[in-house]
Amino acid sequence: MNWAYRITFLALGFVAFMTFMVVSAFRQNFDLVVEDYYGQELQFQSQIDKQLNQNRLSDTLSCVVAGDKVVLRFPESLAGQPIEGDILFFRPSDAGKDLRLAINSNLHGVQLFDRHLFARGYYRVQVDYKVGSMQYYDEKTLMID
């Protein structure tokens, strides 16, 4: 086999490899964290203020898996007060598995969710809530096995 054939095979191999890479790149799915990224960026200072309010509380929000339930417990200092807002169970690896729910806690500041609502994996629990005139925001991690 002479050099002309080798160079031809090398060039064809390179073209085949590049074609494979381009086709693979177009098949990738890129989920955005949020669709309205710039609109939410403009409201970021209010998010910082909510987090500062959360940090001023004596106790913290918690989210754990207990048996067949996911338990979200608000700070005890807010127990007995009406809590309004929403909870986003954010799945970084797959936007289709995100879950947004309204807060509906009991008098003790506890809200239960059925575990079957969630796929197995890692979630970031983003809780944006209001008690009276004070607004709070907290973020926790949750692993569903």
Q: Where are the domains of the chain?
A: 37-144
Q: Over the stretch 42-96, which tens digit does the pLDDT of each residue have?
A: 778 888 999 999 999 988 899 999 989 999 999 998 888 899 999 999 998 888 8
At residue 29, the pLDDT reads 74
At residue 42, the pLDDT reads 72
For residue 54, is it left (φ>0), alpha (ψ between -120 and 50) or beta?
alpha
At residue 14, the pLDDT reads 96
Q: Where is pLDDT greater, at 69 or 31?
A: 69
CA 21 from chain centre, in angstroms, equals: 30
At residue 34, the pLDDT reads 65
Q: Over the stretch 121-140, which tens digit does the pLDDT of each residue have?
A: 999 999 999 998 999 999 99
**Which phi and psi angles does 48 have, rounded to 5°?**
-65, -40
Q: How many CA atoms lie within 13 A of 98 on its CB side?
A: 15
To which CATH superfamily is domain 37-144 assigned? Answer: Immunoglobulins (2.60.40.10)
Q: Is the pTM of this model over 0.85?
A: no
What would the mean pLDDT of 32-46 be, rounded to a whole number? 73
Longest dimension (CA), the chain: 86
Give per-residue burial for 44-82: e unless 16+ CB within 10 Å, then b.
Answer: eeeeeebeebbeebeeebebeeeeeebebbbbeebeeee
